[in-house]
């Protein structure tokens, strides 16, 4: 996730969002060098790089331009840092800027690289990928019969994007299925409303956030006020559903948590640069006026979702229900470069209010509930709508509602 954007949306379209453009790389370098934090490039290493470029340029079986070789070298260097850093060409950078507004042309997936495999973090609600049945945890094997490139997530995302109406074949492997699964999907223009709501029963509401785009905070506030109006007064409790939400814009996550808080640190981050060290606090104005709150999470809840769940858990504002979250605890910043290109670089690691990092460990719910009725959840995603009757068939939703209806709720903290 990034500080104004986050990972990339793979709305394959492709996922990852980021932060508002910082100064270009040269400015950052000068600033850091002034602090004495960046050494001069060693002459021997620079000479080695030039040697390799020259040898490949002159002796490789196919002719490759210096421009191509240098771009490949940059991609390899940045992608070797971690699974979330990437060099972005002009097209990839433009896609990221578009994705932060919640508008995509693709199939609707968030992906990541783990153990040299392209893993589906989560499909987005109401998208071709979700309707077809692609699931969190699926491993993407090939796109249009071409194997995916495990060390270049940006290329995988680009191949899944395309003009609305065009088709793409995605083959995945699934842990509990012997043979690979093939999905023939029609790309579409995806304008995802990130928030949906419903009254579960008198006095109790349900809100689902499918991703965090720039408008999610405002969407959630509007949806919550609508539920309060429909209920005829303040709610007695709310279920906030963050399952299969892969994350998004950091500022939006803070805005969402802030809607249910009156004070306290929502998230803090530590990095090497001055801009990478920050803390973000809640302001007075809990729209629920202290009414009970339960947050639903699962293994597809990542990044911004984990910031919201972690803040509400640590500040004893909500009970977390479901299964362990994904575990992405880093912030990516997009730094514009010359020629319309950019660098998406991991610049911070973030921490929940208790000072805990969730990186690679995730958030463990207060109440662990394994879903026993996946069909009802799938049905809601197929239609792109929710209704109280269908929601109450979902045992995780039912457990969350029962939890907030109890007079005494015990909050546990992560060890």
233, exposed or middle or buried, with CB in 10 Å at 0-12, 13-18, 19+?
exposed
Contact between residue 333 and residue 2 where contact means Cβ atoms under 8 Å apart: yes
Q: Which of 314, 323, 366, 381 is catalytic?
A: 314
Rounded Cα–Cα distance for residues 357 and 88 (Å): 28
For residue 379, which phi and psi values (nearest 5 degrees)? -65, -45
- 173 bridge partner residues: 139
Q: Residue with structure tokens 């949306």?
A: 9
- 167 bridge partner residues: 186
Rounded Cα–Cα distance for residues 151 and 303 (Å): 21
- 88 bridge partner residues: 342
Rounded Cα–Cα distance for residues 300 and 279 (Å): 25
Rounded Cα–Cα distance for residues 11 and 132 (Å): 14
Contact between residue 349 and residue 330 where contact means Cβ atoms under 8 Å apart: yes
Q: In this structure, are strands 188-191 and 103-106 parallel, antiparallel, or unpaired?
A: antiparallel
303 is catalytic: yes
Q: Which of 2, 252, 303, 323 is catalytic?
A: 303
Rounded Cα–Cα distance for residues 1 and 333 (Å): 8
Rounded Cα–Cα distance for residues 279 and 351 (Å): 9
Task: Produce one character per residue of 58-94: b if its CB has 16 or more CB atoms within 10 Å, e if not.
Answer: eeeeeeeeeeebeeeeebeebbeeebbbbbbbeebbe
Q: In this structure, are strands 237-241 and 204-209 parallel, antiparallel, or unpaired?
A: parallel
For the chain, the first-to-last Cα distance in angstroms comes to: 24
- For residue 328 the two structure tokens come to 């992405």
Rounded Cα–Cα distance for residues 151 and 302 (Å): 21
Contact between residue 212 and residue 244 where contact means Cβ atoms under 8 Å apart: no
Rounded Cα–Cα distance for residues 267 and 256 (Å): 12
Q: Which residues are catalytic?
A: 303, 314, 328
């Amino acid at each position: 996730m990034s500080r104004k954007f986050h990972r990339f949306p793979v709305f394959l379209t492709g996922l990852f969002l980021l932060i508002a453009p910082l100064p270009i790389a040269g400015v950052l370098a000068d600033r850091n060098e002034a602090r004495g934090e960046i050494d001069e490039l060693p002459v021997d290493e620079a000479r080695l790089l030039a040697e390799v470029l020259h040898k490949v340029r002159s002796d490789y079986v196919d002719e490759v331009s210096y421009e191509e070789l240098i771009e490949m070298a940059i991609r390899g260097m940045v992608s070797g840092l971690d699974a979330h850093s990437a060099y972005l060409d002009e097209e990839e950078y433009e896609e990221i800027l578009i994705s932060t507004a919640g508008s995509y042309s693709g199939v609707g997936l968030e992906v990541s690289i783990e153990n040299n495999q392209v893993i589906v973090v989560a499909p987005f609600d109401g998208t071709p990928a979700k309707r077809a049945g692609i699931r969190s945890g699926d491993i993407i094997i090939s796109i249009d019969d071409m194997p995916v490139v495990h060390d270049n997530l940006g290329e995988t995302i680009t191949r899944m994007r395309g003009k609305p109406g065009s088709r793409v074949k995605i083959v995945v492997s699934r842990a509990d299925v012997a043979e690979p699964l093939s999905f023939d999907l029609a790309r579409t223009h995806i304008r995802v409303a990130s928030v949906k709501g419903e009254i579960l029963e008198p006095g109790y509401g349900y809100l689902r956030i499918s991703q965090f785009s720039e408008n999610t905070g405002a969407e959630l506030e509007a949806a919550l006020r609508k539920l309060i109006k429909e209920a005829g007064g303040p709610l007695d409790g709310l279920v906030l559903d963050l399952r299969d939400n892969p994350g998004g814009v950091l500022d939006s996550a803070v805005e969402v948590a802030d809607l249910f808080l009156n004070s306290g640190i929502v998230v803090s981050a530590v990095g090497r640069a001055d801009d990478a060290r920050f803390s973000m606090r809640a302001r007075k104005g809990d729209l629920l006026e202290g009414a009970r709150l339960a947050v639903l999470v699962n293994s597809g809840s990542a990044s911004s979702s984990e910031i919201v769940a972690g803040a509400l858990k640590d500040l004893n504002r909500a009970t977390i229900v479901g299964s362990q979250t994904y575990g992405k605890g880093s912030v990516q910043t997009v730094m514009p470069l010359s020629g319309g290109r950019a660098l998406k670089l991991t610049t911070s690691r973030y921490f929940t209010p208790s000072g805990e990092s969730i990186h690679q460990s995730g958030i463990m719910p207060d109440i662990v509930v394994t879903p026993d009725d996946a069909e009802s959840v799938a049905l809601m995603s197929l239609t792109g709508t929710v209704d109280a009757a269908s929601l109450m068939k979902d045992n995780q939703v039912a457990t969350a509602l029962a939890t907030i209806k109890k007079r005494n709720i015990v909050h546990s903290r992560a060890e």
